[in-house]
Structure 1
């Protein structure tokens, strides 16, 4: 009887231990904003932060970026940020698009593809590296852009690091070019696409030179000192229409000081905008146009790449 009791107790302890360990493993799996479930659609957030699954599934790329970059304590080593997440070297760059003032495109090879070297910093976990790599590789599905691991012979490359928030310089700058994807707050598929589009030469949608025909900026509701984020600049629109669904369009309450809208669509103020969680068809079209990707027509949308298809 005693022997049976000992065996039963050992079995129950084993089961209890396994349950705790299994629970801990699952808890650890969601302790950061990462996930490896490949069954998620590219149009949904592929990663989750902690237990806030319901909340984060509703956040747009714009909201995620603003949350990640708010209340940061910046050091002298951090670049100046404009537009919330665009890195610049001097205040003089705030009013100009570096791509139109100095040229910024990455070069195309004879095979018609644009190969962009990248390095992912070692401080990312293997899970986090997989998420970043998935974002990099998504561009090959609908364009001629091919991100590849950097080599010692590369003169220009993207260095993807977990710095202070989410940010990128606009366009090719030469040499080592940092793209910051902070481990806490930036590792989402849409935010990765957003920052890479900056690195490819694109600015925010609401800064387009023709934006006043499509949105009304309400500066009276903008946080003091953040007005520069709404300045118009010469952008690479590539003949595409203003896109409320662009992954580069900020949401209507961006940089609000009083929980009132900072932007309203016109002429119809009820149009939804700034809710993107991935690149839109117009984002893809202007990318392919800028880099002169060999494209095919699919429902009138410019596409590119070997497996030309809009992410579903």
Structure 2
């Protein structure tokens, strides 16, 4: 029997986040059909839609990154909210974690959560949770007194922290954030980055920077595994729910990402792909 292949498994030794990018037995594999790019796009997955903020240079896990300072928050790849502990400016090293802080993985694969009473259409939260529980070992339990938990609340866009950061953290959902977008944001909260930022992505895709909207170029930067105890495995998963589509953040209607042969592909925000499931199984 052929062993499952999964892409980019990396322990972020200094950051404390276990990072998995979606996995794939085949470059095109997915458990669900992609949603056409004109129906849904990664543009909705932004912490502050239409606001690019101020570019900042910093470090994540000891690696130089570019992030954006918007409304006092540190925004990475559009919809990932970094904490001050995760970003260390100038020093080139991550700040040490606070005493007693656990790693970026949720212990025992259990995520404690609350839903803000002011959040409309709460079915998009409960349906997304049900999808994760039906397809992965992750379990969601309503929070009582637990110190580390996620609150789903109203936001300006769709956004989340990356991994378990300690204490209360948020998944922010604007009115346009669908169940599929929420499945994507939960992926970030579990420790997943975007698929197209894999260190080996240039083997599989072309990034057409001339077509990317100004201020969103850093959404397409590679997140290298350099310095971490891990690397990229398997092939990039075009069907991953963590993957952008060919026309995501286009400034001119032309593709921002194509396959190596120049062909385009749709974004997928229906559910976890077969690759996503294998990656989470390996992670948790």
Same fold, TM-score > 0.5, yes or no:
yes
Corresponding residue number in structure 2 for 1:151? 144
Shift of 1:257: 1.8
> When you count helix as a share of all residues, which structure comes out higher?
1
**Equivalent residue for 2:49, pick from 47, 50, 70:** 70
Aligned with 1:283: secondary structure? helix
Corresponding residue number in structure 2 for 1:260? 254
Shift of 1:84: 1.9
- What's the RMSD between the two structures over aligned residues? 3.3
**Residues in 1 aligned to 2:239 and 2:231: alpha-carbon distance in whole angstroms:** 14
* Alpha carbons 1:190, 1:277 under 8 Å: kept: yes
Shift of 1:189: 1.7
**Residues in 2 aligned to 1:207 and 1:56: alpha-carbon distance in whole angstroms:** 21
**Equivalent residue for 1:80, pick from 63, 74, 97:** 74
Listed one character per residue, the Cα deviations across residues 177-199 of structure 1 (whole Å, up to 9, x for unaligned) are 111012x111x221111000000
**Equivalent residue for 2:40, pick from 44, 50, 60:** 60
Listed one character per residue, the Cα deviations across residues 174-232 of structure 1 (whole Å, up to 9, x for unaligned) are 000111012x111x221111000000000001100110001111112222222111111
Matched, 1:177 2:156: no
**Residues in 2 aligned to 1:119 and 1:176: alpha-carbon distance in whole angstroms:** 10
Listed one character per residue, the Cα deviations across residues 25-64 of structure 1 (whole Å, up to 9, x for unaligned) are xxxxxxxxxxxxxxxxx9689xxxxxxxxx9996235354
In structure 1, the gaps of 5 or more residues are 1-41, 46-54, 109-113, 292-312
* Alpha carbons 1:205, 1:246 under 8 Å: kept: yes
* Alpha carbons 2:161, 2:169 under 8 Å: kept: yes
Shift of 1:93: 7.0
**Equivalent residue for 2:238, pick from 236, 239, 244:** 244
Aligned with 2:182: secondary structure? helix
User: Which structure's CA Rg is the greater one?
Assistant: 1
Matched, 1:191 2:181: yes
Matches within 5 A, 1:206-245: 206-234=196-224, 239-245=233-239
Shift of 1:134: 1.5
* Alpha carbons 2:106, 2:190 under 8 Å: kept: yes
**Residues in 2 aligned to 1:56 and 1:274: alpha-carbon distance in whole angstroms:** 6
Aligned with 2:245: secondary structure? coil
* Alpha carbons 2:42, 2:249 under 8 Å: kept: no
* Alpha carbons 2:33, 2:270 under 8 Å: kept: yes
Corresponding residue number in structure 1 for 2:129? 136
Shift of 1:234: 3.5
**Residues in 2 aligned to 1:43 and 1:237: alpha-carbon distance in whole angstroms:** 27
Corresponding residue number in structure 2 for 1:19? none
Listed one character per residue, the Cα deviations across residues 96-151 of structure 1 (whole Å, up to 9, x for unaligned) are 9x9xx99411111xxxxx221001001024xx223311211211112111111101
Corresponding residue number in structure 2 for 1:162? 154
Shift of 1:89: 3.3
Listed one character per residue, the Cα deviations across residues 234-275 of structure 1 (whole Å, up to 9, x for unaligned) are 368873421011111111122222222111111x22252433
**TM-score, structure 1 as length reference:** 0.63
Larger relative contact order (Cα-Cα within 8 Å, sequence gap ≥ 6) = 2
